[in-house]
Amino acid sequence: MTFINLFLSSFVVFISHYFCRQVHQLVCIMQAANCAICKQHLVGGKPTVTLTQKGAAGINEASSKQTDDVSVNPGGKVHQDCRRDY
Ligand SMILES: [Zn+2]
């Protein structure tokens, strides 16, 4: 294998991994598949709850008090434990 071939193949591997990660993130965002509080996947994890208007407002309020970057929308999903402990 020449140097250029080696370079190209590592470049292709790098790019495909990069895109894979981007697509994965995009899919997660589109499906809102991550818990807004702990940022972990919701799928296949702990029990989840769907936030009500009031629940979301409470979390956003607590977040701004703690100067956290947590921000949720009504209808969004978070872990049951995360919402309780937040
Ligand atoms: Zn969580």
Q: Please tell me the predicted confidence (pLDDT) of residue 34.
A: 85
pLDDT in tens, the chain (86 residues): 688 888 888 888 888 888 888 777 766 555 557 899 998 888 777 899 999 999 999 999 999 999 888 999 999 999 999 999 98
Number of domains in the chain: 2
Q: Please tell me the predicted confidence (pLDDT) of residue 79.
A: 94
Do 27 and 39 fall into the same domain?
A: no
Q: Please tell me the predicted confidence (pLDDT) of residue 18.
A: 85
Do 66 and 44 fall into the same domain?
A: yes
25 to 30, 43, 49: CA distances (angstroms) = 9, 14, 21
pTM above 0.75, yes or no: no
Cα–ligand 1 centroid distance for 49 (angstroms)? 10
> Residue 86 and residue 38: Cα distance in Å, rounded?
10
Do 8 and 21 fall into the same domain?
A: yes
Domain region containing 24? 1-32
Do 39 and 73 fall into the same domain?
A: yes
Do 26 and 40 fall into the same domain?
A: no
SS (H, E, C) 14-82: HHHHHHHHHHHHHHHHHHCCECCCCCCECCCCCCEEECCHHHHHHHHHHHHHCCCCCCCCCCCEEEHHH
Cα–ligand 1 centroid distance for 20 (angstroms)? 24
